[in-house]
Structure 1
Amino acid sequence: MGTLKRVIDDIVDLRAIGGRSDIHPDEVLQKASYEDKIPSSKDEKRVLLLAIDVQNDFMENGSLPVKGSHADVQNLIKFIHSNAGGISKIIASMDTHTYYQIFHPSWWIGKDKQHPEPFTPIRLEDIENGTWMPVKYEKHSRKYVEYLERNAKKTLVIWPYHCLLGTFGNSLEGQFANMAYYHSAVRDTDFEIVVKGTSPLSEMYGIFKPEYDEGVEISTGLLDRLSDFDMILIAGEAKSHCVLESLLQILEYYKDDKPVTENIYILEDCTSSIEGFEDETEKVFLGLEKDYGIKRVNSTDLKL
């Protein structure tokens, strides 16, 4: 496979992960123009890198920090640089929210007329006894919490305001973005971005559909495209939530298609769980390895 001429430090600043990048994308793309093109259209083995929510608010100094995220992003950037000629395409998701959403403090109010603190769980019994009440969409909100409990979904948790549309926290982590665009220019393929989570009425951990999709038409376009690839690599934040739910949605869609599910690789050193969810997440992944044949590897052990 073709390799990049420029050393990694000439493209990104790994010391600046999680902060504002002093390296402008225009500078990055100018440098990429001097590389020998490696058109992905000529790849015999099609490899997709699916980067979940590699955004500033999930970095260790962000609004909803994931411990280990800086190391995850550093490993991911190094992997892209070392395997640029083997990665056919990069698709990144971006969690994107506004002030009034069902998982934000603004949506709920307590008996004392105060909004809940971040990380407060909202259960059906809390609504029924008046501990927490929605400030709008009362019928839907109750039905939503009831649906989560009835279907053994994650409990509704009030998250800190994060990834608010148009803010720095909403943006892709700058060094990752620069490397992804550099790869795009060299491989002559679009770096695609999928925006998720804009509906005020539901959480949307996975890329492909919200947690509660009653009355919502689910687009399967991206899911259908996954079968075009010989290998699907998954990384990003957080392993316990958006990475896991995205994976579960893929496996649900391709549950009878082992050639797809057995070619899914989780880059273990490029993703971390939210603290407190590690053991539960590990149990789920062990089951998915057994049932669907997914692989878990360190990026340093995978050469494309």
Structure 2
Amino acid sequence: MTRALLIVDVQNDFTEGGALGVDGGAAVAENVTAFVRRTSGAYGVVFASRDWHDGDTSNGGHFADGAPDFVDTWPRHCVAGTPGADYHPALDASLVDVHVRKGQGVPAYSLFEGTTDDGRTASAALAAHGVTEVDVVGIATDHCVRATALDAIEHGLHVRILTDLVAGVAPDPSAAALAEVAHHGGELVSSTVVEAPSEG
């Protein structure tokens, strides 16, 4: 069995000061980096997703034409090639094995809706690494973390959300998202349960 870490959308536009900044986002970036370093070897592969939206279209209606409803339509964010789409600087991107871009011209929330740098679907790339279990961290709990975890369950993977390494837009929807994932069979655990493999 191979376990993967899925780091969801730890990007400048989703952290404090960004177009859709979430309180605690920068701390998630910093803490995920520390966690991956602490648990070196615990994961067979580390994936990270980024929203990577077209700058010259509405991305299938994802960017609002007028006032966003913050459900299906949003302010412009994470436009490909802009600083807002970059990983937050506190996230050490050198720790990531597979980079996934999503939302290229279409609405996308889940990491599973994206493609890798070599053009594979995320699910195909996970399968190529023999992944059967995933831990999910990142931003935002009530949107892309939720969608990624539910899709992972749908793909037959064993899913854990590391609840101290996520940040949500609002407390109530975030709690509801975690409860929904648990209802569908996901586990909600602290990152402290993950240990680096012992040597020898």
Please report the TM-score for the alignment, with normalisation by the length of structure 1: 0.56
The runs of 5 or more residues in structure 1 that have no matched partner are 1-44, 109-115, 122-153, 185-190, 211-217, 255-259
Structure 1 equivalent of residue 165 of structure 2: 270
Q: 1:86 aligns with which of 32, 36, 42?
A: 42
Structure 2 equivalent of residue 221 of structure 1: 124
Please report the TM-score for the alignment, with normalisation by the length of structure 2: 0.81
Deviation at 1:230, TM superposition (A): 5.0
Deviations 1:235-276 (A, max 9, x none): 11111111111111122232xxxxx32xx221111111113x
Conserved 8 A contact 2:77-2:84: yes
Conserved 8 A contact 1:95-1:170: yes
- Larger fraction in helix: 1
Distance in 1 separating the partners of 2:86 and 2:184: 35
Amino acid at match of 2:176: K
Q: 1:220 to 1:82 in 2, by over 3 A?
A: closer
Q: 1:273 to 1:219 in 2, by over 3 A?
A: closer
Distance in 1 separating the partners of 2:133 and 2:153: 14
1:233 aligns with 2:128: no
Amino acid at match of 1:205: Y
Q: How many residues align?
A: 187
Deviation at 1:82, TM superposition (A): 0.7
* 2:90 aligned counterpart, secondary structure: helix
Deviation at 1:55, TM superposition (A): 1.0
Deviation at 1:197, TM superposition (A): 0.3
Q: 1:196 aligns with which of 102, 126, 135?
A: 102
Deviation at 1:225, TM superposition (A): 4.5
Amino acid at match of 1:248: L
The runs of 5 or more residues in structure 2 that have no matched partner are 115-120
1:288 aligns with 2:174: no
* 2:46 aligned counterpart, secondary structure: strand
Amino acid at match of 2:77: H
RMSD: 2.4
Alignment of 1:23-34 (within 5 A): none
- Larger fraction in strand: 2
Deviations 1:258-302 (A, max 9, x none): xx32xx221111111113xx323323422432431x221222343
- The structure number with the bigger radius of gyration is 1
